[in-house]
Amino acid sequence: MTNKKPWGGRFKETTDSRVEAFTASIHYDRRLFRHDIAGSIAHARMLMKVGIITEAEADRIVSGLEGICDDMEKGAFNFRQDLEDIHMTVESALTERIGETGGKLHTARSRNDQVALDIRLYLREEIVQVIGLIGRLKKTLVETAKEEIDTVMPGYTHLQKAQPVLLSHHLLAYWEMFHRDELRLHSCHERVNVMPLGSAALAGTSIPIDRAYVAELLDFPSISGNSMDAVSDRDFVAEFIFDASLIMMHLSRFCEDLILWSTDRFDFVEMADSFTTGSSIMPQKKNPDVAELIRGKTGRVYGSLMSILTVMKGLPMTYDRDLQEDKEPLFDTVDTVKSSLEIFEALVAALAFNEERMEEEALEGFAAATDVAEYLVTKGMPFRKAHQIVGQLVGYCLDQKKDFAALRLDEIRNFHDGATEEIFQYFDIHASVERRSSVGGTARDAVLRRIREIEDSYGSV
């Protein structure tokens, strides 16, 4: 049995210690202390502005809160489990330091709107940081694409060689994915950046508060329009975790490419020693552990998304204690996506591509077959017939264990009697790449054009 709670007026028995341990969130929501105190300082100043507390009382409250924040920053604060959460922890410490005046701070608010405020303050900061990390990765991809502008590699569908492409084009495909992630986060930030304080427990307050003033102090551009929704809304948490899930999915896909490319079967890329590890038993091993861990952590973020959606799916209006379970998935997602983006950007910056090996592989597998079919189309042949002829030519090459470059004109004429020497121009993979000059294509000029568009857009979303 433990101390009397701030909410304990109607209770005749003290809280069982097992209940305190089970319901406590202070061990993880303590990371919200800066946001909780910032919200409390703004609330105190608003209470003074509307005449609920005096200027002297407001000054004492603000000074006390700043002292608590300073102690927490220094690690000199004793967090107690019996105080349940960061809100009661701060309020209790304030009352201990400045006396009964501290009890006036909770006027016209509830922990329900207080925690909603704290999470929004926290998340809007973290979103800005994640956007910054995505921006760094995008710039690294562009710089790498510029460096590798002449590197030809095989493009794949179904993990089978398909058509030759520029490595730069492949890298910029991921730039497009991360750019969409960035746009989604900007949009999410708008919905996070709504001020809920003043909704109180669920119905608002009869005390004449000034919510607009609090929003101004905390730099919120808008105020929640419905008190019931404001205290029970965690859509913005789910939305952020969904956006983070897409970021992790894109990182995971990129990691899968790099893991495959680093195998001796591909030998397209070597990851720096500083971003790989070895085996405790096999001396020759160099393992892509960073990329594998990012791929694995993607499932962790997906789990957080399922967690918050499941918590929310059956909740009646308005606040329910289930909502305490929103923070750990959110915090873990933030930590995971930030650390993954940060280390992956450094990994990409240190990659060493094997350009010769990439081109060697692009030369094999009849990657120019589509070019040959399209060439026949330009001579008036229906595409389906051209497709069939080139397919038969590929089959012949496989039987004869030769590639296109080794064919003689008389062999080609066995499949298309109108073939001329001109057809040999369409077996060249470099020419194949350059022919893909349509907007968004892999031709060198098209890729450079996209790079210029990207660099011209720096400074804007």
- Exactly one of 63, 187, 222, 279 is catalytic; name it: 279
C-alpha–C-alpha distance, residues 337 and 404, integer Å: 46
| CA distance to 34, 211, 213, per residue, from 221 (Å) | 20, 12, 11
Residue 231's Cβ-side half-sphere holds a number of Cα atoms within 13 Å equal to 22
C-alpha–C-alpha distance, residues 231 and 295, integer Å: 35
Number of C-beta neighbours around residue 78 at 10 A: 7
Q: What is the 8-class DSSP label of residue 404?
A: G
Length of the chain: 461
Strand partners, 353: 269
Task: Respond yes or no: is residue 158 known to be catalytic.
Answer: yes
Closest-CA residue to 429 (of 370, 357, 377, 384): 370
Residue 33's Cβ-side half-sphere holds a number of Cα atoms within 13 Å equal to 23
3-state secondary structure 248-317: HHHHHHHHHHHHHHCCCCCCCEECCHHHCECCCCCCCCCECHHHHHHHHHHHHHHHHHHHHHHHHCCCCC
SS3 87: helix
Closest-CA residue to 354 (of 237, 441, 266, 286): 266
Q: What is the 8-class DSSP label of residue 192?
A: H
Alpha carbon distance, N-terminus to C-terminus of the chain: 55
Residue 80 burial (C-beta neighbours within 10 Å; 0-12, 13-18, 19+): middle
* 8 Å CB contact between 266 and 298: no
* 8 Å CB contact between 124 and 189: yes
C-alpha–C-alpha distance, residues 323 and 116, integer Å: 10
- Exactly one of 158, 206, 280, 438 is catalytic; name it: 158
C-alpha–C-alpha distance, residues 78 and 266, integer Å: 55
> Could you give the residue numbers annotated as active site?
158, 279
